[in-house]
A and B are shown apart, each in its own frame.
Chain A
Amino acid sequence: MGFPDRIERTVQLAHPPAAVWAALTTAEGLGSWFGDEATIDLRPGGLARMRWAGGPTVEMRVERVEEPTVFGFTWPIYGLPEEDPRRTYVEFTLEPAGEGTRLTVVETGFAQLPEDAYRKAYDGNAQGWAKELAELAGYLDAA
């Protein structure tokens, strides 16, 4: 049994991609079907904020904006403390399907390790040293 890292859903919607795109990427759209109130600065790195009446406010960071096919953002992992740097990545993909749209949502990153960054840095360092030592050896051999 694996730690669930990826969640994926595909739905068929009887509306053209432009209408679905507007529902996903405008404050009016997000505030209607997703949260109760939303703001969004629609550009990579832009901030979106969603509020639920009597519930939490969630801050999202817009990551990908490729109208009208890909919209991606990151947001905090539900239940982890606010200062925790781990976030999941949510990506909506819109494909025309007949008169409507096939919408896929993929959320990944639930199983990321907090130590991941450190391990990568360490491995990168170790490889860097191996390369430098090989170069040193080559230099010495040539000399």
Chain B
Amino acid sequence: MEAVAEQVFIALADPTRRAILAALASGGPATATDLARRLPISRQAIAKHVALLAGAGLLSPEPGERRRVRYRLRSAPMRVAQQFLAALARDWDGPLGALRDHLDRGARRRSATSPDPTRGHHG
């Protein structure tokens, strides 16, 4: 599972591969020729990177028109990488700080309004 995430991050570390993946994500399956037409990258460079991405399981080749291979983005590895990122992005420190402030505000409000036993409400 970590190996899968690693493949995704290696793929994304290169600007050409990011451009290829972004083009497939936004425009759908495409051949190496289509990609060379759409991106400012040589056909040879695209072929090299596409082969690497397919080898890593991030693209799946499928038969296209006129016997050309089309490449389709495989989302499963991206989702694994996203799980990794979700753990890194989970912020409990912010909400726990907000919880502390919320409780302190409530306590201040209660002591300010005592001996009134009704709890203050927002507004």
Bound together: yes
Quick check: is A23 within 8 A (CB to CB) of the other chain?
yes
- Footprint of A on B, CB under 8 Å? 1-2, 5, 76, 79, 82-90, 92-93, 95-96, 98-104, 106-107, 122
Q: Are A105 and B102 in contact (CB under 8 A)?
A: no
A contacts with B, residue count (CB < 8 A) = 34
> Which of chain A's residues have a CB closer than 8 A to the CB of B87?
3-5, 7, 110-111
Interface string of A9-35 (1 = CB under 8 A from B): 101011100011001100001001110
Q: Which residue of B lies closest to A113 (CB)?
A: B1
Report the tally of A-B residue pairs with Cβ distances under 8 A: 86
Quick check: is A86 within 8 A (CB to CB) of the other chain?
yes
- Footprint of B on A, CB under 8 Å? 1-5, 7, 9, 11, 13-15, 19-20, 23-24, 29, 32-34, 77-81, 84, 86, 103, 105, 107, 110-114
Cα distance, A86 to B83, chains bound together (Å): 10
Q: Are B99 and A111 in contact (CB under 8 A)?
A: no
